[in-house]
Amino acid sequence: MDAEALQQALARQRRAFAADGFPDAHTRIERLDRMAAMVLAHAEEIVAALSLDFGNRSPHATRTGDVLGAVAAIRYNRDNLSRWMAPTPIALPEPMEREGARAEVRCQPLGVIGAIVPWNGPVLMGVLAAAGALAAGNRLMLKVPELTPRASVLLERMFAGSFAPEEVCVVQGDVATGAAFSRLRFDHLLFTGSLATARHVARAAAEQLVPVTLELGGRNPVIVGRSADIELAAARLVTGKMASAGQVCVSPDYVLVPRGSVQAMVDAMAAQAARLYPTLLDNDDYTAIASPAHFARLRRLLEDARLKGARVLEINPAGEAVWDSAQRKFPLCLLTGVTPDMRVLQEESFGPLLCILPYDSLEEALAVVAEQPSPLSAYYFGSDPVEQESVVERVVAGNMVVNDVRCQLFFEQLPFGGVGASGMGRYRGHEGFKTFSNAKTVVHQMPGDALLAQQRPPFSEASRDAVKAQVAALSPHF
């Protein structure tokens, strides 16, 4: 779509929203059910499209995450929708309520939501955005990524077959289309992607006074405590890191380990990786890097670290010619001896590169994390409750997991989003419903006028004295 076509699509949705009014629970539930049926009907096409776009994407991971995960999220919104839509009573001062005054908050649809979804999870992220927008009673314009053309075309066909363009409109296009999309006067704009692109999106939205939710990324840290079970931590770390070959926004980037446990952690992670993926090239369960450009970028990060003195352990159990293959299967690489001048410690890897850093005290580990921009996710492994609480309390991150990684993505109940450089705002589940709604306060004034009449001039001396007495009584307390 060009800029004019985008404006026309937005205008069409605005007209439909104005003509139909706020949808009731039945209409919203019907839309959610329609979307769940749509996802299930195209399940195998989703698997095939994503695998072709990536060069290989684990079919099992797509079925569990993108298909079943999407349907679970839709159902969670559906099952809780009536409760979320109910007005929330707000307590007023007791004398006013005694005379019949009351107040409430009603969540009403905003209108038309814009959402820009990323290439690393276009189907799941597109459905999650749609679930939140539709549950809140809105219309949706969905900008899909050009880097996954098959999945993006499939998404357009799926939604076109199940929804009128006045309900959901899928937008295809390149960077120019994305820029024009960001300039539209939506009622809210959701963006998931890189910090660099987010700056342009936020600037364009600000020109239209469009509120934004930005879900970005960052260098996600892991602190392994002295009380941690190294084997357990290694198993869970490697499982999370190698899922989608690290191409996930909550994937860990660096692991802080007590100095005396570094080699044990490296050995345990290497063993776990070999156990999970004994082969890489012809292993359908191991996802390829999505594009030649991203593969080349990861290789540059790796070689930069090597040249500057890092020790690299490539986990390639079968000794396959991964670097000579066109499959873009990038092995898990564990890096030790890394230094701040290496790019791998300066950039989000978004791939299977994992730095292991030693620390001598918890304070030192926390200082390393604090020196970095606030990440989207942070992780802690250990069984010491005092240490655990200290880490959870002091690490600033959008979300945190104790004794696992990545699992926060699986729960629609949890608010999701970043802080600082890793994003702003929250969505998913109830938080998404609230983000895509206008929380309108409604005050019902008391029917009787006697109490209100006392607050109108001319004020009696008794009234003036009563107010002075209240001020005098409060003053000693402040």
Side-chain-facing half-sphere of 306: CA atoms under 13 Å: 12
**Known active-site residue 215:** yes
* Identity of residue 324: D
Residue type present at position 138: N
- Helix (H) / strand (E) containing 273: helix 262-276
What is the full DSSP assignment across 392-451? HHH---SEEEES-SSGGGG-TTS-B---GGGEE--BSHHHHHHHTEEEEEEEE--S--HH
Pairing of strands 112-116, 139-143: parallel
Could you give the CA distance from residue 61 to residue 39 in angstroms, rounded to a whole number? 15
Lookup: tokens for 226 = 């002295």
Active-site residue, from 107, 167, 169, 215: 215
Which member of 107, 249, 333, 355 is catalytic? 249
E-assigned strand segments in 55-116: 88-90, 102-109, 112-116
Buried b / exposed e along 62-91 (16+ C-beta atoms within 10 A): beebbbebbbebbebbbebbeebbeeeeee
- The per-residue DSSP string of 278-297 comes to S-STT-TTSPPPS-HHHHHH
For residues 66 and 48, the answer to whether their CB atoms sit within 8 Å is: no
Q: Looking at the annotation, which residues are catalytic?
A: 215, 249
